[in-house]
Structure 1
């Protein structure tokens, strides 16, 4: 009888131990996360960073990329266990258990060369212009609350760049490397300029549901190990040099 109880407990525990974490990220955040057109495989710097940390935990997982609005919705509804790559804003800190940062990126303003503005020193300098931003993105607390003319019709950064190049908006805001990636896709470097003063140096985090401290702590411990032994920096250098 004792042996039967032990066997039953093992059978019950095994699925729990092997349960996969469901991990999702933004499919339109190249070069940090995007879906390969050849085989639909998630690729990018952030994908590799997240995979490396999860592999260190030893935790089975599945990783998929979706539109950003769906990524947030899935996490909020409890349909997934973890999502990336969230900006480290006070709003996001209040919404989720954020772990990281995985890395930091420079959030900048990019204008068409038709715009006379060469740089900005206060948000008031931007008030004469229509600022394009991706619907649902958080950028920086003061900017997000500022009374500016905004166009939030873009659903992803590639679309945002296309709108700028088409002359539909004056200035766009986003991650420097990402905006340049999409500009170069369209061979339009000569048509845009990046304003020299960045909006913010924005750390990027992974997110768990508020209160899910167990998973958050496991990920944080593995992330710190990769940071300490240099593996995180090796991945970063491979993508940024």
Structure 2
């Protein structure tokens, strides 16, 4: 780190409110594997590890709490939580959220269908009249959010959406590509559920902090340190570990698919 960058970081930290320095931050999220999720009762995931490391370098301690997504947003809006993980930069949330400018990761929303009930979907217009499994409080991009030709059906969890898909209570579900692949494997649905190639939306994910005194400085300090961390071998090793795990999983799925008759 250059002397100038060290000075900038120190000045930003000096601007943090006594509250942020003296107390632990309470960050909320829903289960959003592989980005952040509970594993054996403890938080895990690549974005969890990244945020934990950055705040450790800033001398800020963090408590983690997992809740349904709409409740996470309400907790931050009501001042009952200090921040939220992996949120999109949505204009309506700026009244109560301060976004760290450096993204944590990027998601790709895609569709999943039950192999027993295929739907020929190649573009968004093909979703007209179909029941699409969604999550409460999630935004999937203007094209889908503003559409009046499809029917959104919320489920309390991502797992519940896969269950509804298998029962035929929805026609398709939408979720992030990595999250969908992770859950499909966890639920043992590799032979029953297919990922469609159409990408509905790509969105960067950010750390959002509650609008409280000193949080603008904390968001700037977090972004500066995250940018530095991304240039270090430690970040590359972390990303490689999760990438390798995903590639190993996909290789297993592809080998299984090749051995399964069509």
User: Displacement, 1:92?
Assistant: 4.5
Task: Find the aligned partners of 2:235 and 2:97 in 1 and give their Cα distance.
Answer: 23
User: Displacement, 1:151?
Assistant: 3.7
Is 1:98 aligned to residue 99 of structure 2? Answer: yes
Contact 1:118 1:195 (C-alpha < 8 Å) held by counterparts: no
Task: Find the aligned partners of 1:187 and 1:23 in 2 and give their Cα distance.
Answer: 31
Contact 1:104 1:203 (C-alpha < 8 Å) held by counterparts: yes
Higher strand share: 1
User: Displacement, 1:19?
Assistant: 2.2
Task: Find the aligned partners of 1:14 and 1:139 in 2 and give their Cα distance.
Answer: 37
Task: Find the aligned partners of 1:207 and 1:82 in 2 and give their Cα distance.
Answer: 5
Partner of 1:132: 133
Task: Find the aligned partners of 1:135 and 1:15 in 2 and give their Cα distance.
Answer: 32
Partner of 1:66: 67
Segment of structure 1 superposing worse, 90-99 or 158-167: 90-99
Q: Over the residues paired in the alignment, what is the CA RMSD in angstroms?
A: 2.3
- With over 3 angstroms needed to count, the CA separation of the structure-2 counterparts of 1:62 and 1:116, relative to structure 1, is closer
Partner of 2:113: 111
- Stretches of structure 1 that go unaligned for 5 or more consecutive residues are 1-12
Segment of structure 1 superposing worse, 123-132 or 210-219: 210-219
Is 1:22 aligned to residue 29 of structure 2? Answer: no
- Stretches of structure 2 that go unaligned for 5 or more consecutive residues are 1-16, 245-262
Segment of structure 1 superposing worse, 206-215 or 41-50: 206-215
Contact 1:108 1:195 (C-alpha < 8 Å) held by counterparts: yes
User: Displacement, 1:232?
Assistant: 3.0
- Of the three residues 227, 232, 246, the one matched with 1:229 is 232
Contact 2:132 2:152 (C-alpha < 8 Å) held by counterparts: yes
Segment of structure 1 superposing worse, 49-58 or 91-100: 91-100
**TM-score where L is the length of structure 1:** 0.83
Aligned to 2:191, what secondary structure does the other structure show? helix
Task: Find the aligned partners of 1:124 and 1:113 in 2 and give their Cα distance.
Answer: 21
- Per-residue CA deviations over 1:194-213 (Å, capped at 9, x if unaligned) read 11121122211110124731
Contact 1:30 1:44 (C-alpha < 8 Å) held by counterparts: yes
Contact 1:133 1:154 (C-alpha < 8 Å) held by counterparts: yes
Task: Find the aligned partners of 2:21 and 2:184 in 1 and give their Cα distance.
Answer: 45
- With over 3 angstroms needed to count, the CA separation of the structure-2 counterparts of 1:15 and 1:135, relative to structure 1, is closer
Is 1:220 aligned to residue 250 of structure 2? Answer: no
- Per-residue CA deviations over 1:56-102 (Å, capped at 9, x if unaligned) read 21222222222222211111111121110112444455652222310
Structure 1 moving runs of 4+ over 4 Å: 13-16, 89-95
- With over 3 angstroms needed to count, the CA separation of the structure-2 counterparts of 1:45 and 1:104, relative to structure 1, is same
